[in-house]
C-alpha cells in the first residue's frame, strides 16, 4: 500500500512539474553530464564533504489550503493578501548530507516581528520583491556560504577545497570567486533532472514546513483556553515562520540528503536505508491531513492529501504583476506603521528582571512536574532537561548582574502580602542581597 502511494506521488509530481523548466529539460545533456562530473571529481580529488549544491525556492509562508475559512476570508478582504507574502529560501547542502543554515530573502529589512532579535536561524536578506538577484546571490556566497563551509571543513580537519555547483538561473552571479572554491554551473535545462537539491529535497522540506505549521496550530489549540483560529493565524508572524523553517530542516536526515546526489554522483551515495525524499513528503502530507482533522473546523476537517500536495506545489508558482505591485506597496505601509509605533516601543530583549522571571517560571514548572507526575524517573529526566536548557540563561544572568553595580533587593523577589496589622521588619540594606537564581 505504501509503495503504491509513493508511486502515485511520483506520478503526480511528474505531471505537475511538466511546466516551465521540467517541460524543456535537456534529457541528453543530463545523461552525459554525470560522467564529466565524475572525471572532474577524480581529477581534483574532491571528497563528498567538499562538494556543495545550492538552489533557491519560493515559500508562501502564511498560506493554507484554499478551502479553509482563514484563506477564504482573507481573499475577500481588500489590499495585500498575507497568503501571497512570499519569501525566497536559498538552500545549500553537500554530498555527505550536511545542510547549511539557509539564506532567506524577505520584502523587509527589519520586520516588526524580528525587532531586537539577532542570531536568526537563517541568513537574512531583503528586497522589495523578495526574490534573488545577482547582488544578493553574491552577498549570500561571501557572507553565508564561505564562512559556513570554512567552519564545517575546519571542524572535520579537512582542507578548504570546495566545489560549488549551481544552475544558471538569472539571479545567480556568473563571476563568483574565492580562493579555494571552484564554481561549476550545470548544463542548461538539466536542473530538474540532476541537480541534487531538486531531487526531492525542496519538496520534502515544504511538506515538512506545512506539517509543522499545522502542528503549531494544533498545539496552540490544546494549550490556550482562549484559542481562536483567526486570532492564532493573525499572530503567525515571520518570526513564527523562521521557527517552523528551522524545525523542518532539522527533520531532514543526513542519509536522505546524501541520497539526492544519486543521479549526479552515484558513487558518493552510501547504502541507503533511510526514507527517500518522496517518502518523507508522503509521511508529512499524511500527518498534515491528520492534524487538519484534529482541528475539526474552519474548513480544515475535510482537507485531503491532494489539497496538501497542491498547496506544496503552489510555492513554486510565480507572483503576477499585480501581486508584485501589492507586495511592494505593503512594504511601504509596514514601514509607515513601524515609524508610528516607534515612540510607543517599550524596552525589548533580555533584562535582569526578565531573566529572573524566566528562571523562576522554570523552577515553578519543575515543581509541578515533580508534584504531579507519578512516574518519578520520567519526571527527573524532564527536570534535568530543563536544568540543562536553562543553564545558558543563568550564565547570561550572572554576566549581566556583574555589569550592574547596585541592584535593589526587590528587583527579583516576589512581593509578599502582609496583613493590615503586621508591621514590616526594618531591613538592613547596606549589602547587596539580591536573590540570584540557583545554579
Please write the tens of the pLDDT for every residue from 58-83: 999 999 988 888 888 877 666 556 77
What is the crossing angle of helices 238-250 and 201-223, to 10°? Answer: 120
The predicted pLDDT at position 321 comes to 61
Parallel/antiparallel/unpaired status of strands 162-166 and 123-126 = unpaired
- Chain centroid to Cα 11, Å, comes to 28
From the CA atom positions of the chain, what is the Rg in Å?
26
Which residue, among 425, 430, 434, 437, has the nearest Cα to 392 in the 3D structure?
437
* Residue 403 pLDDT: 67
Domain boundaries defined on the chain: 2-334, 352-411
Q: Is 262 in a helix, a strand, or coil?
A: coil
What contacts 103, CB < 8 A, 6 or more positions away? 56, 89, 90, 92, 122, 123, 125, 140, 144
* The predicted structure's pLDDT at residue 11: 45
**Separation CA 233–CA 229 (nearest Å):** 6
- 402-436 tens-digit pLDDT: 766 444 444 445 444 444 444 443 433 333 333 34
List helix spans (H) across 224-266.
Answer: 229-234, 238-250, 254-259
Q: What is the pLDDT of residue 425?
A: 39
What is the DSSP secondary structure assignment for residue 406, as one 8-state letter?
-
Strand order in the sheet with 181-185: 123-126, 103-106, 86-94, 51-60, 162-166, 181-185
Strands 103-106 and 86-94: antiparallel
Query: Which pLDDT score, from 0 to 100, does residue 69 have?
Result: 82
CB 134 within 8 A of CB 142: no
The number of CA neighbours under 13 Å toward the Cβ of 202 is: 25
Are 369 and 382 in contact, with CB atoms under 8 Å apart? yes
Are 132 and 176 a contacting pair, CB within 8 Å? no
The residues, ordered by sequence, that sit 6+ positions from 335 with a Cβ below 8 Å of its Cβ are 108
Measure Cα distances from 31 to 22, 192, 193, 194, 219 in Å: 15, 12, 9, 9, 47
Place of cell 563571476: 175
Q: What is the pLDDT of residue 322?
A: 64
pLDDT at 32: 96
Cβ-Cβ contacts under 8 Å for 284 (sequence gap 6 or more): 204, 207, 208, 210, 211
- pLDDT for 430 equals 34
DSSP 291: H
CA distance 322 to 8: 35
pLDDT, position 291: 94
In this prediction, residue 422 carries a pLDDT of 42
Q: How far is CA 297 from CA 149, 388, 409, in A?
A: 46, 39, 51
Q: Which cell numbers hold the place of 56?
A: 533557491
Contact 189, 25 (CB under 8 A): yes
The tens digit of pLDDT for each residue in 94-141 reads 999 999 999 999 999 989 899 767 789 999 999 988 999 999 999 999
Low pLDDT (below 70) residues in the chain: 1-24, 76-81, 116, 317-349, 403-439
Half-sphere exposure of 306 (CA within 13 A, CB side): 6
**90-to-56, 123, 162 alpha-carbon distances in Å:** 4, 9, 18
Amino acid at each position: 500500500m505504501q509503495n503504491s502511494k509513493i508511486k502515485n506521488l511520483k506520478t503526480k509530481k511528474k505531471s505537475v512539474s511538466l511546466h516551465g523548466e521540467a517541460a524543456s529539460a535537456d534529457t541528453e545533456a543530463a545523461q552525459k553530464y554525470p560522467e564529466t562530473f565524475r572525471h572532474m571529481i577524480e581529477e581534483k580529488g574532491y571528497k563528498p564533504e567538499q562538494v556543495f549544491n545550492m538552489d533557491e525556492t519560493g515559500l508562501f509562508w502564511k498560506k493554507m489550503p484554499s478551502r479553509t475559512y482563514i484563506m477564504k476570508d482573507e481573499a475577500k478582504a481588500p489590499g495585500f493578501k498575507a497568503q501571497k507574502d512570499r519569501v525566497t529560501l536559498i538552500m545549500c547542502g553537500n554530498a555527505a548530507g550536511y545542510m547549511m543554515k539557509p539564506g532567506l530573502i524577505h520584502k523587509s529589512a527589519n520586520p516588526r516581528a524580528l525587532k531586537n532579535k539577532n542570531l536568526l536561524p537563517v541568513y537574512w536578506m531583503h528586497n522589495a520583491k523578495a526574490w534573488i538577484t545577482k547582488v544578493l546571490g553574491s552577498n549570500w556566497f561571501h557572507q553565508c556560504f564561505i564562512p559556513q563551509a570554512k567552519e564545517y571543513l575546519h571542524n572535520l580537519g579537512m582542507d578548504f577545497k570546495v566545489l560549488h555547483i549551481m544552475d544558471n538561473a538569472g539571479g545567480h552571479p556568473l563571476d563568483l570567486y574565492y580562493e579555494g572554491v571552484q564554481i561549476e554551473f550545470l548544463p542548461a535545462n538539466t536542473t530538474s533532472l540532476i541537480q541534487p537539491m531538486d531531487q526531492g529535497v525542496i519538496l520534502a522540506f515544504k511538506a515538512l514546513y506545512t506539517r509543522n505549521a499545522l502542528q503549531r496550530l494544533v498545539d496552540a489549540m490544546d494549550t490556550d483556553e482562549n484559542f481562536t483560529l483567526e486570532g492564532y493565524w493573525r499572530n503567525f508572524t515571520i518570526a513564527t515562520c523562521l521557527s517552523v523553517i528551522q524545525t523542518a530542516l532539522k527533520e531532514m536526515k543526513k542519509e536522505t540528503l546524501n541520497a539526492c546526489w544519486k543521479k549526479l554522483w552515484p558513487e558518493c551515495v552510501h547504502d541507503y536505508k533511510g526514507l527517500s525524499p518522496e517518502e518523507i513528503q508522503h509521511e508529512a502530507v499524511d500527518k498534515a491531513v491528520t492534524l487538519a482533522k484534529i482541528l475539526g473546523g474552519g474548513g480544515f476537517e475535510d482537507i485531503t492529501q491532494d489539497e496538501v500536495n497542491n498547496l506544496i506545489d503552489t510555492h513554486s508558482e510565480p507572483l503576477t504583476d499585480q501581486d508584485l505591485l501589492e507586495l511592494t506597496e505593503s512594504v511601504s505601509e509596514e514601514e509607515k506603521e513601524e515609524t508610528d509605533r516607534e515612540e510607543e516601543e517599550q524596552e525589548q530583549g533580555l533584562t535582569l528582571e526578565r531573566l529572573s522571571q524566566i528562571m523562576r517560571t522554570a523552577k515553578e514548572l519543575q515543581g509541578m512536574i515533580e508534584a504531579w507526575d507519578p512516574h518519578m524517573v520520567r519526571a527527573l529526566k524532564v527536570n534535568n532537561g530543563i536544568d540543562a536548557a536553562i543553564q545558558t540563561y543563568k550564565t547570561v544572568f550572572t554576566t549581566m548582574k556583574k555589569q550592574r553595580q547596585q541592584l535593589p533587593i526587590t528587583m527579583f523577589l516576589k512581593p509578599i502580602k502582609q496583613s493590615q496589622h503586621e508591621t514590616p521588619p526594618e531591613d538592613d540594606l547596606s549589602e547587596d542581597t539580591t536573590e540570584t537564581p540557583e545554579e
